[in-house]
């Protein structure tokens, strides 16, 4: 039984929402970030990059406190307003031929602990603690956890009925993406959505494992220092964006490695032959076409690699993942990369045009070899989560990517 809860969001005013909301901080180049901070005083980037006001790089507790101060200024200047009613917030994104729609809500930390909200990635304790400290200091969360659920006709009917109304926001950003948001504050509509989710056994984190884990840490910290803890406090929940699984898109991360671990090209190819049937495809861009099929770019040529299934044994759902197969047959035993998260010899690239970037980087000597994979399917992600297993890092690049500052959850 999944628990969802409406909340009073802090949101930009209608006239400023297109200026306030921002892409993920990591997506901006240095030049674009500088231009946005200089010419757009309403950008949410001013809150998460508070040192700009003082022409100073800030970090740690100093940055956390300044983030809190900039947030208060946005409230004081009425750039942000807090809703008077608990609500759900339906948010639709249209990008080229891709339209996706879900809704912001508060999800339960207890559901996270009870594995009703299921995970498929490991988290680092140090990052959990750091982000929990950040949340505790700033007092709000502006980046929801992306959570998916099995397509449900009853839920979809309720959402579609709300979307027949005039949206609270409708705007287009410079990247030509259309954004629409509907506020669901009607008590009857809220209760119907809550009841439908009570019938759902499992939710799946698609993106945001560290954010959800940090919220769990924050909840424990807050409970320990609150002698009047009831379990209903805002810190017992975290903001999520719930979306049916048919409306997410999963892309692959390519792998690029700086060297061949002391092997010559010929020695490397011979080692690969133990696990793969190989074919040289020449210099024309080449991508794999199906599961257990990989591409490789090495010394100016693309290769197709077909797994020899009689040699590689499948033992569980994890062993069947292409990212795990690549790790167990090439990256670890041949190239000597044991720590996929921290080894500086490996780099990850994502996006539809990344095969071109991968080729350019290898041709320019930045890396020596690169591997392409097909995207994982949602049923593979769910199977890993259901089995309580963990995918290798950078197994999935998932869309939609949500704008920061659209809806803010206060603790």
Ranges 14-18, 24-28, 94-98, most confident: 14-18
The CA distance from 182 to 87, in Å, is 10
Total domains in the chain come to 2
Residue-wise pLDDT tens digits, 197-230: 999 999 999 999 999 999 999 999 999 999 999 9
Residue 42 domain-assigned (yes or no): yes
pLDDT value for 352: 60
Same domain, 272 and 238: no
Same domain, 192 and 230: yes
For residues 117-130, give the mean pLDDT: 93
Query: Which uninterrupted H or E stretch holds 184?
Result: strand 178-184
Domain of residue 323 covers 253-374
Same domain, 52 and 116: yes
In 275-366 the beta strands, taken as DSSP E runs, fall at 276-282, 293-298, 301-307, 346-350
Same domain, 325 and 272: yes
Residue-wise pLDDT tens digits, 9-22: 999 999 999 999 99
The CA distance from 36 to 29, in Å, is 11
Residue 338 domain-assigned (yes or no): yes
> How many CA atoms, within 13 angstroms, populate the side-chain half-sphere of residue 63?
16
> How many CA atoms, within 13 angstroms, populate the side-chain half-sphere of residue 282?
1
The CA distance from 206 to 377, in Å, is 12
Residue 18 domain-assigned (yes or no): yes
Closest alpha carbon to 209 in 253, 148, 149, 145: 145
Residues paired with 179 in a beta bridge: 93, 171
Same domain, 217 and 269: no
Residue 358 domain-assigned (yes or no): yes
Structure tokens at 139: 């007092």
Same domain, 64 and 212: yes
Same domain, 190 and 301: no
Same domain, 302 and 355: yes
Phi, psi of 34 (to 5 degrees): -60, -45
Same domain, 238 and 272: no
Q: Is the peptide bond before 400 cis (omega within 30 degrees of 0)?
A: yes
pLDDT value for 351: 62
């Amino acid at each position: 039984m999944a628990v969802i809860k409406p909340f009073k969001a802090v949101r930009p005013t209608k006239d400023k929402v297109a200026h306030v909301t921002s892409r993920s901080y990591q997506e901006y180049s240095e030049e674009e970030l500088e231009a946005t901070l200089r010419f757009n005083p309403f950008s949410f980037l001013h809150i998460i990059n508070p040192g700009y006001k003082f022409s100073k790089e800030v970090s740690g507790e100093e940055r956390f406190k300044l983030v809190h101060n900039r947030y208060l200024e946005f409230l004081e200047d009425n750039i942000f307003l807090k809703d008077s009613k608990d609500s759900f917030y339906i948010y639709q994104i249209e990008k080229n031929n891709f339209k996706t729609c879900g809704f912001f809500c508060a999800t339960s930390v207890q559901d996270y602990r009870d594995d009703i909200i299921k995970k498929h990635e490991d988290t680092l304790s140090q990052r959990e603690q750091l982000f929990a400290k950040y949340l505790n200091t700033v007092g709000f969360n502006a980046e929801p956890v992306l959570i998916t659920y099995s397509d449900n006709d009853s839920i979809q009917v309720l959402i579609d009925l709300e979307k027949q109304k005039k949206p609270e926001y409708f705007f287009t950003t410079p990247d030509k993406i259309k954004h629409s948001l509907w506020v669901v504050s009607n008590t009857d509509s809220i209760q119907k959505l809550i009841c439908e989710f009570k019938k759902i056994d499992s939710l799946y984190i698609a993106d945001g494992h560290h954010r959800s884990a940090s919220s769990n840490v924050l909840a424990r910290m807050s409970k320990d220092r609150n002698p009047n803890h009831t379990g209903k406090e805002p810190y017992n929940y975290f903001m999520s964006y719930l979306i049916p699984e048919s409306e997410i898109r999963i892309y692959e991360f390519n792998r690029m490695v700086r060297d061949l671990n002391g092997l010559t090209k010929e020695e490397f190819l011979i080692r690969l032959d133990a696990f793969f049937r190989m074919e040289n495809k020449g210099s024309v861009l080449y991508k794999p076409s199906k599961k257990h099929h990989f591409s490789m770019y090495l010394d100016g040529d693309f290769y197709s690699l077909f797994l020899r299934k009689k040699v590689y044994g499948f033992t569980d759902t994890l062993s069947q993942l292409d990212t795990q197969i690549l790790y167990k047959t090439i990256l670890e035993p041949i190239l000597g990369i044991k720590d996929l998260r921290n080894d500086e010899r490996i780099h990850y690239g994502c996006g539809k045009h990344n095969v071109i970037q991968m080729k350019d980087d290898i041709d320019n000597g930045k890396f020596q070899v690169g591997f392409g994979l097909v995207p994982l399917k949602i049923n593979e992600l769910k199977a890993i989560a259901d089995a309580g297993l963990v995918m290798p890092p950078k197994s999935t690049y998932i869309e939609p990517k949500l704008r920061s500052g659209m809806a803010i959850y206060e603790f």
